[in-house]
Structure 1
Amino acid sequence: MPLVSPKQMFKGAYTGGYAIGAFNVNNMEIIQGIMEAGSEEQAPLILQVSAGAKKYAGLGYITKLMEAALLETDLPVVLHLDHGANFEICKEVIDGGFTSVMIDGSHLPFDENIALTKQVVEYAHDKGVWVEAELGRLAGVEEDVVSEEHIYTDPDEAVEFVERTGCDSLAIAIGTSHGAYKFTGVAKLDFERLDKIASLIPDFPIVLHGASSVVPEFVVMANEFGANIGGAKGVPEDLLRKAASKAVCKINIDTDIRLAMTAVIRKFMAENPTEFDPRGYLGEARKAVKEMVRHKITNVLGCSNKV
């Protein structure tokens, strides 16, 4: 099945009270694990590529791996650019066959963010490609995306932003953050702000970035086998499920995949000191990705059997 646009996915998610998982991919094992989980759960999927993944694997390798994955499934799958920093990278992946892009001008002044987003929208829409934009700023670190401050999305600005840019979906800031260290105190999301935005732009798909839960069992496992990631704390899954039942149609998940892979590989290497075949530990990592994604689909996103 060829790649699809998020349009129908998000329409179903909005009316059905669930969200689509947007899973970051970097290599073959991650893609395979995600695709296997989606197939078993009959869930629509968004596989997204960051600038860091593009640099690591190469755009050609990523797209060919996706072509291979699509040969073995009839699931609807979106290939999405995560955190496009400028018009040029968005244009490159649109021309390369991506069906969705995110242009991230959230670090810019309001009017400059609008101008950049509108430029991408005009090019993308001419090619039939979906555009996600961002308003507000998430604290934390994710590859090249770094912010020391959190700026919540202003509902009135969100309305103006969507009207002036023509973007198709909007990532907002309501308390999530990038990386493994999201909260120091009690975790909470600003659902009142989310509901206000949804009321002002009804039926419009909202996106949550920085939404990994940082599953404690994998933190414990990684630390048990030599890691030092104490204090890592993500977004509680019940809060994400609540967001998915509202206007949030896309939830980004990256850190949880990295953490699951790293913890399982550390455990495998410690328990199998004579093993040097990469297929051994990468095979276990692939299984961990699959189970992580299945868990998210069934218990957090609520999108099982939505194909």
Structure 2
Amino acid sequence: MSIATLREVLKTGHDRGAIGAFSTYDLFTAQGIMNGAEKAGLPVIAMIGAPVLNKQGNEEIGRLMVRLADKAKVPVVVFLDHAKDFESCMKAIRLGFSAVMIDGSHLSFDENVQLTKKVVTVAKAVGVSVEGEIGALAGVEDGEGVVSSKMTNPDDVPRFADLTGVDALAISIGNAHGLYKGKPNLNFGILEKSAKLTQTPLVLHGGTGIEKKQFARAIDLGIKKVNIGTEVKCAFMDTFTKLHSENKEAYDLVGIPQAIKQAVAEVAEKDLKFFAEQWREYLK
């Protein structure tokens, strides 16, 4: 199965579900995500954050993701998440990624458009999809934090999409990176208006901790891609901690990584099935 682009896997139209995007950090998270997708029989987005990929030596993780995706039995989008600069996007494209996110949400609207359009122009010339973002999410992701959030102005959505030509657009409706403190308070009015004003698929970041009924309403209103990062981290660390604490003297670097891979696969399989079909059960 060849590597897929974001444009190819995002299903447009009401009531067609969403696709999960899962954070990748190493061999075992990459294998787990793709194994989970194969068990679900659904396409998946394996993403790595720009802060992770840009660490010394971590280009090898990107290359590994591309190789694994190329051999997967389901379509896999190899995706760069939250790049803040043009150079990071170009690095991912050179590594063989099929989609990149350029996050100019920290800039003014006009500066965000300029940066995003620059990435889109180069990426589309080589068949790579691009996600943009307007509005800013609070929280910490992969070592980088944003103190305050800024809700998306729905009126900016169609203008930004038309000016940049992005294939998907992340919006801020009260979602946040990391673990939520209390129940997430999502502004579905912003989402509903945004979806009515554009045909560009909309993206929900900060998926870990959002309740199923909230996911169902978000997907029903137009969300086509959901990012899951912290849930992958929890599956990894909780599995490692539990198994190591049960037999510390073993220092089991053979069995524990295999268990981690399985735990991540279960997260991916469960979430992919929910975002694709099972969310409808929670609209009642």
Displacement of 1:8 in angstroms is 2.7
1:162 deviation in Å?
1.2
Q: Is the 8 A contact 2:66 2:97 kept in 1?
A: no
- Residue matched to 2:109: 110
Task: Say which of 277, 286, 289 aligns to 2:261.
Answer: 286
- Which amino acid in structure 1 is aligned with residue 218 of structure 2? A
Equivalent residue number for residue 4 of structure 1: 4
Aligned to 2:202: 206
The number of aligned residues is 278
Tell me, yes or no, if the aligned pair for 1:198 and 1:247 is still in contact at 8 Å: yes
User: C-alpha separation between the residues in 2 aligned to 1:69 and 1:4?
Assistant: 9
**Shift, 1:69, TM fit:** 4.6
Q: Distance in 1 between matches of 2:166 and 2:51?
A: 24
Residue identity in the other structure for 1:8: E
Partner of 2:46: 47
CA 59–15 in structure 1, closer or farther in 2 if over 3 Å, else same: farther
1:252–1:63 Cα change, 3 Å: same
Deviation (angstroms), 1:242: 2.3
Alignment match, 1:87 = 86
Question: In 2, Cα distance between the equivalents of 1:69 and 1:209?
Answer: 22
How many angstroms does 1:189 deviate by? 1.3
1:183 corresponds to which residue? 181
Aligned partner of residue 274 in structure 1, secondary structure: helix
CA contact (8 A) 2:32 2:262 kept: yes
Unaligned runs of at least 5 residues, structure 1: 214-234
Name the aligned partner's letter for residue 183 of structure 1.
K
**Match for residue 256 of structure 1?**
231
Q: Which runs of 4+ in 1 moved over 4 A?
A: none
RMSD, aligned α-carbons: 1.8
Identity score, percent:
34
- Work out whether residues 104 and 133 of structure 1, in 8 Å CA contact, stay in contact via their aligned partners in 2: yes
User: For the structure 1 residues 275 and 241, does the alpha-carbon distance in structure 2 shift closer, same or farther, using more than 3 Å as the test?
Assistant: farther
Alignment-mate amino acid for residue 94 of structure 2: D
1:64/1:261 Cα in 2 relative to 1: closer, same or farther (>3 Å)? closer
| Distance in 2 (alpha carbons) for counterparts of 1:127 and 1:161 | 22
Does structure 2 conserve the Cα–Cα contact (< 8 Å) formed by 1:47 and 1:77? yes
Match of 1:130 in 2: 129
